Chains A and B, each alone.
Chain A
Amino acid sequence: MFFYYCDLAWRSIRKTPMLSMLMVLAISIGIGITITTLNVYKTMSYNPAGDRSEVINSVQLWSQGLDTWDEFSSNMTYTDAMNLRNNNELSFKAATFRTGLAMQSDNPKIEPVLQSVRVTDRDFFKIFSVPFLYGSYWDVSVDERPAYQVVISQKLNLRFFEGKNSVGKTVFLDRKPYQIVGVIEDWNPQPKYYDPLNGAFNDAEEIFIPFSLTAQEEFDVWGNTSGWKFEPMLTYNDRLLSEKVWIQFWTELSNQEQKQSYLAWLTRYVEQQRTMGRFTDSAKTPSELVQISHVEKWLEDNNVVPKDTRILVGLSLLFLSVCLVNILGLLLTKFLKRAPEVGVRRAIGASRGQIFSQYMVEVSMIGFIGGVVGLLWAFGSLTALHAYFEVDQSLIGLDMSMWFITPLIAISTAVIAGIYPAWVVCRTKPSVYLKAQ
């Protein structure tokens, strides 16, 4: 029966080619626009942490003075980062910031490259599940006593060591020798959730070095440094001792209990720091000065999805609803035109339900064709976005789920538009049309 209806629907679509084309056009354009914006939105709002989203937590401290910033900063001071690193209650913890260094190897034929570098602790690799190709992260003692060790990416390993296992070899960062302890596999989470502050869709760094080197090597900060009061920063030591915030801090808390006990620890920490003249915002109690954010909240707080994208999704859904009303009108027109035919079928013995389902099959077919064409539109517009605007490559790939979502939206749009016209036409009284013949 279903295939018979399909056949009938196809005949009916072909009988009014202009009207059918108009409907397919309307639905496909609506779908094309909606899928384009939805796809960009979905990629941007993707949470790369997956089921570890609740476990991976970033720490924020309200170290600013009274009446200065009215939000938690995503970064913290060096002093706080050091104190939090030294807290042994936490099993996994990592302070991190971005710098840049020129990389060279013994081979003089390979030109030096200026690379963006992540300065962090060894737990960073565990917290963010960074996959290793060769070797591993540095020893836990390195986080305490600085050593010139480095983890590099597979790509750099290919460039400098022809892809061979380079663990134990030496590279030069700013002409200082570092020993390679590990090579990681391709790892580039999008959005770059461990540091969305310097462009949430930038590529991940390819060189990782110990945070414990910071004070002696005085790495430049390739990220935001913000201050809420005037503090001259003449030397690197001024930076380390200042109230300026520039370091992110990550930890792993696997359940509510751990979170509560860590928050309690942080509160005690702030109380203790207050006695030393820090955390001067007297309008807040110590427990209000600390916050931990799981990945979901962290991405939200750092506005990884720009408001423009949300507006576009909203407007494109409205656009789709205009298309829906448009199709509704056209379907009504078309079905009513066929009322005499329905009258005859009813008189011969077709039930209302049969007439209704026949027309629903027809609108679903129109919806399906519209969806397929719409997917082509979306594909074209995403490619155009990449070609003409600096939209990141990672944002324009059609998400897998769209192959499922598109026909779903397209067919349900068409079905919603089709219900009323089909209902009107199946209520046709056979007698009226039989008389008129």
Chain B
Amino acid sequence: MLHIKPILSSLMRSKSSPILLLLQIILSVAIVANASFIINERLSLMQRESGYAEEQILTFSVYNFDPSIDNMKQNQVDQQILRSLPNVIDASYSNMLPLSDSGWMDRYVDGPDEDTAKSTPGFAFYLGNEHLLNVMGAKLIAGRNFSADEINTGLDDSGMLALVSQPLAKAFWGDESPLGKTMYQGTQTVTIIGVVDKLQGAWVDHENFEYSVIQNIDFGGSSSNKSYMVRALPEHIKGLEETIRKAFHAENPNRVLDNFQTVAELRDRSYSNHRLMATVLSIMVVLLLLITALGLTGMVMFNIQRRTKQIGTRRALGARKRDIIQYFMVENYLICIVGGVIGGMLALVLGQQLMSLYSLPMVPVIYPILSVIGLLVVTTLAVIVPAAKAANISPALATRSV
């Protein structure tokens, strides 16, 4: 027995405050549903595995500004130096750094004729030598890595080989194995010799983020500005910067070493906007629930004061404490559920607006539903304290004052 009818008629008599409560709940549901959806979306973006040994890879850039430096030779010497340093597991040149927000993008086509050939989706285009895979800590799941004698130094060399990431292989060849396939870039051919389990690109928000290729070119000789990746155990990373600086400057002082960062740090920076958004929205949701709850408590308290006499009378006529508490709870739930339904619909409309304006994905229905449930819990907590206070009103109060 919930006695809905008397509660409804009492709500109808003093409309303004329940209407305000209703309005507040409608708005709260709409905001909380959309905010929690965005939060969840960002968190799942941030939780994607990169496939790299992030904590173990130190990256840095070198700029050789002495025009007399032979970049081709220097690149080889520098890599030898890096690999011979104590605690270094492996080191390699790379034309771009994973999750760094800057790099190369390219595509292959599957035939020599540009007009008829089918193009792969755009992919992150890593150029490196046989050490790169080991430095990255990426897992080869089919085929083989490059061997030392297969490494090219220029983009127009022959004998191009490539490792492709598994998601790219799936997207272009489906279930067929890409191993041994010949792809084209202009007139140049590339043979695919390996598939890597996971190999993310540089741009965390790009739709082709998981599509990557490593080609067998050590491009470090092509310009005076280049980046290297060094792998070492996390406990050794800290001291490594100083060691590398010393070793490089001892070899040739005419260069600037800069941007020492681990891939974990690069990742952190790349996702910082998402982390910011998720944090700000979470704070907003918590504050919103807090304000709604406090407002509700305040209003219920006032209602109880106003209805002290009625409550006393009811108690005198035989209502139990439970009945009084139940009265306030049911009143709250009625408003919450009506507000929740309207608010849920508003949330979907708002989601649609966001979707069309900012190309966000549509809010799934589960989010408004969860928001309503969350709100029911919060309002229960907000109402139960003043309602319990009301239940303690003595029946004698009803008869005392006239």
Residues of A whose CB lies within 8 Å of any CB of B are 18-19, 22, 25-26, 29-30, 33, 37, 100-102, 112-114, 174-176, 220, 230-234, 306-308, 310-312, 314-316, 318-319, 321-323, 325-326, 328-330, 332-334, 336-337, 385, 388-391, 420, 424
CA distance A389 to B272 in the complex (A): 7
Cβ–Cβ contact B23 & A325, under 8 A: yes
14 A-B pairs with C-beta separation under 8 A: A112-B256, A174-B67, A175-B254, A220-B225, A308-B277, A312-B280, A315-B281, A316-B284, A322-B27, A332-B20, A333-B298, A389-B276, A389-B279, A390-B269
Which residues of B have CB within 8 Å of A33? 284, 287
Contacting chain A: which of B29-37, B80-88, B163-171, B206-214? B29-37
The answer to whether A175 and B17 touch (CB under 8 A), given A19-B298, A220-B223, is no
Judge whether B70 is part of the interface by a CB distance below 8 angstroms: no
Cβ–Cβ contact B155 & A389, under 8 A: no
Judge whether B302 is part of the interface by a CB distance below 8 angstroms: yes
Which residues of A have CB within 8 Å of B156? 232, 234
Which residues of A have CB within 8 Å of B186? 230-232
Nearest residue (CB) in A for B105 is: A226
Of the candidates B31, B38, B114, B256, which one forms a contact with A319 in the assembled complex, judged by CB atoms under 8 Å apart? B31
Judge whether B221 is part of the interface by a CB distance below 8 angstroms: no
Cβ–Cβ contact A325 & B17, under 8 A: no
Q: Which residue, B155, B256, B275, B306, has most C-beta atoms of chain A within 10 A?
A: B256
Of the candidates A101, A220, A329, A337, which one forms a contact with B295 in the assembled complex, judged by CB atoms under 8 Å apart? A329
Which residues of A have CB within 8 Å of B35? 315
Of the candidates A22, A174, A233, A326, which one forms a contact with B65 in the assembled complex, judged by CB atoms under 8 Å apart? A174
CA distance A306 to B34 in the complex (A): 18
Cβ–Cβ contact B298 & A22, under 8 A: yes
Interface of A is mostly: helix
Cβ–Cβ contact A100 & B63, under 8 A: yes
Cβ–Cβ contact B114 & A315, under 8 A: no
Kindly list 18 other residue pairs between chains A and B, CB separation below 8 angstroms, not including A325-B23, A326-B291, A329-B24.
Answer: A25-B294, A26-B295, A101-B65, A114-B65, A114-B256, A175-B65, A176-B67, A232-B185, A310-B357, A312-B280, A319-B287, A321-B27, A322-B288, A323-B291, A326-B294, A326-B295, A329-B17, A330-B295
Cβ–Cβ contact B20 & A319, under 8 A: no
Which residues of B have CB within 8 Å of A315? 31, 34-35, 281, 284
CA distance A188 to B172 in the complex (A): 46
- Return B370 CB to nearest CB of chain A, in Å: 17
Q: Which 4 pairs between the two chains have the least Cβ-Cβ distance? A: A102-B65, A326-B295, A114-B256, A333-B302
CA distance A220 to B225 in the complex (A): 8
Which residues of B have CB within 8 Å of A326? 24, 291-292, 294-295
Cβ–Cβ contact B299 & A329, under 8 A: yes
The answer to whether A114 and B63 touch (CB under 8 A), given A26-B295, A234-B154, is yes
Judge whether B258 is part of the interface by a CB distance below 8 angstroms: yes
Cβ–Cβ contact A329 & B20, under 8 A: yes
- Return A109 CB to nearest CB of chain B, in Å: 14
Which residues of A have CB within 8 Å of B113? none
Which residues of B have CB within 8 Å of A330? 295, 298-299
Which residues of A have CB within 8 Å of B224? 174, 220
Cβ–Cβ contact A385 & B27, under 8 A: no
Cβ–Cβ contact B258 & A114, under 8 A: yes
Mask of B208-244 contacts with A, CB within 8 angstroms, 1/0: 0000000000000001110000000000000000000
CA distance A312 to B185 in the complex (A): 44
- Return A14 CB to nearest CB of chain B, in Å: 17
Cβ–Cβ contact B292 & A322, under 8 A: yes
Of the candidates A308, A314, A332, A389, which one forms a contact with B16 in the assembled complex, judged by CB atoms under 8 Å apart? A332
CA distance A219 to B35 in the complex (A): 46
Mask of B289-308 contacts with A, CB within 8 angstroms, 1/0: 00110110011001001100
- Return A187 CB to nearest CB of chain B, in Å: 24
- Return B295 CB to nearest CB of chain A, in Å: 4
Total A-B contacts with CB atoms under 8 angstroms apart: 134
CA distance A33 to B223 in the complex (A): 48
Q: Which residue, A102, A307, A322, has most C-beta atoms of chain B within 10 A?
A: A322
CA distance A332 to B256 in the complex (A): 68
CA distance A100 to B277 in the complex (A): 33
CA distance A323 to B254 in the complex (A): 61
CA distance A116 to B33 in the complex (A): 45
Which residues of B have CB within 8 Å of A26? 291, 294-295
Cβ–Cβ contact B225 & A100, under 8 A: yes
Cβ–Cβ contact A325 & B27, under 8 A: yes
Judge whether B28 is part of the interface by a CB distance below 8 angstroms: yes
Cβ–Cβ contact B23 & A312, under 8 A: no
Which residues of A have CB within 8 Å of B150? none
CA distance A234 to B224 in the complex (A): 15
- Return A206 CB to nearest CB of chain B, in Å: 15
The answer to whether A333 and B273 touch (CB under 8 A), given A22-B295, A312-B280, A315-B34, is no
The answer to whether A318 and B287 touch (CB under 8 A), given A306-B273, A326-B292, A329-B21, is no
Judge whether B354 is part of the interface by a CB distance below 8 angstroms: yes
Nearest residue (CB) in A for B222 is: A234
Cβ–Cβ contact B17 & A333, under 8 A: yes
CA distance A113 to B256 in the complex (A): 7
Which residues of A have CB within 8 Å of B291? 25-26, 29-30, 322-323, 326
- Return B45 CB to nearest CB of chain A, in Å: 12
CA distance A420 to B255 in the complex (A): 72
Judge whether B251 is part of the interface by a CB distance below 8 angstroms: no
Of the candidates A101, A234, A306, A385, which one forms a contact with B155 in the assembled complex, judged by CB atoms under 8 Å apart? A234
- Return A222 CB to nearest CB of chain B, in Å: 9
Which residues of B have CB within 8 Å of A220? 223-225
The answer to whether A389 and B63 touch (CB under 8 A), given A325-B23, A332-B17, is no
CA distance A200 to B275 in the complex (A): 20
Which residues of B have CB within 8 Å of A318? 27, 30-31
Cβ–Cβ contact A322 & B284, under 8 A: no
CA distance A330 to B24 in the complex (A): 12
Cβ–Cβ contact B358 & A311, under 8 A: yes
Judge whether B197 is part of the interface by a CB distance below 8 angstroms: no
Which residues of A have CB within 8 Å of B114? 230
CA distance A333 to B225 in the complex (A): 70
Which residues of A have CB within 8 Å of B188? 232
CA distance A101 to B225 in the complex (A): 10
Nearest residue (CB) in A for B67 is: A175
A-contacting residues, B243-282, CB 8 Å: 254-256, 258, 269, 272-273, 275-277, 279-281
CA distance A198 to B66 in the complex (A): 27
Cβ–Cβ contact A175 & B256, under 8 A: no
Cβ–Cβ contact B276 & A391, under 8 A: yes
Cβ–Cβ contact A230 & B284, under 8 A: no
Cβ–Cβ contact A325 & B24, under 8 A: yes
Q: Which residue, A220, A325, A330, A390, has most C-beta atoms of chain B within 10 A?
A: A325
Cβ–Cβ contact A322 & B272, under 8 A: no
